[in-house]
Structure 1
Amino acid sequence: MRPLTDEETTQLFDKLSKFIGENIQLLIDRPDGMYCFRYHRDRVYYVSEKNMKRAASVTRKHLVSFGTCFGKFTKTKQFRLHVTALDYLAPYAKYKVWVKSGSEQSFLYGNHVLKSGLGRITESTEKYQGVVVYSMSDLPLGFGVAAKSTQECRNADPMTILVFHQADIGEYIRNEDNLL
């Protein structure tokens, strides 16, 4: 467990700013205490300072996990967000997409969101902007990247991809075999 380097912090904050903009500060300075990001075994954890101090008493070799895993660095040193960060990103998301009930299952199976499955989209969403995907009953399902801007969505064909899938809450079940 160690603090992130400047390069790692920049990559993490760039990725988070795609989804929550300048609300990153709200993740760190919370009413229930200070939180920070720590690096352990290619993964970035979001943890309170109180729990971080407790985890520091465990050797790195024996420490499996602590806090909430926000994502990991790939072998090419790119940062990839995990679905475990969804509960922290959803309340602060700047851009949101709601999918129709018929398309929820398709998205939860790892497919992209098509125009035919789009319920509504936040106004002024730009192309390639990070979005949080919600069901029509405001349940966060996952996140992705907008393939089209809001203006382009209005004139798009029903089979056009509007949101590229990145992560969803169905990943736990799909990846269960890989964990064992």
Structure 2
Amino acid sequence: MGEPARPVDIPRYGAWSDVLLGLAADAVGLGRLAEARRLLAVAPVGRGWRPELRAGWLRAETELASGRADAALGPAEIAAEIAAEAGSVRHRVKSALVLGVALATDGHRSRAVSTLSTALHDATDLGLLPLVWPAALVLADLVPTRGDQFCRCAAVALHSVLRRADPVGRRLAERSPWVPRLAGPTG
């Protein structure tokens, strides 16, 4: 009968990368930036576009959370390039969101508004509501003359996302410091 088939290294490698990048994302969310950096340093990301892309997002987010917008720009730009080459629309939109925030935080307002406006438009057209509300909120800050419009857009998208979440997810979102309290549609 022969020997049993050995598992292929790539799925195991991908799973290991997903685990470490997921833990790094959790660490960023909890404000444990040194831990996020350690996890990013050991996460295997050299095989395939998806781990490289996620690592770019996380590097940018870690630097933004550290108050180092200048250090966030490089990883955010690389992630946007990877997403454009990969052809995944959702990943392209999220990469534009991360890049737009890095640009805005580093003082590149005009480019940030352009990048985020495109991300918001694409996310809205594609129904990517979890990406609509953060893009709209950042634009509300960057374009105060349209702030009310962007806040309404964010409120509608966030309400729709939370309405579709399970009860536990809704409770977690209500308690999260990362989810804004927006006036808007309820029920």
In the superposition, the TM-score normalised over structure 1's length comes to 0.27
The structure in which a higher percent of residues are helix is 2
Larger strand fraction of residues: 1
- Per the normalisation by structure 2, the TM-score is 0.26
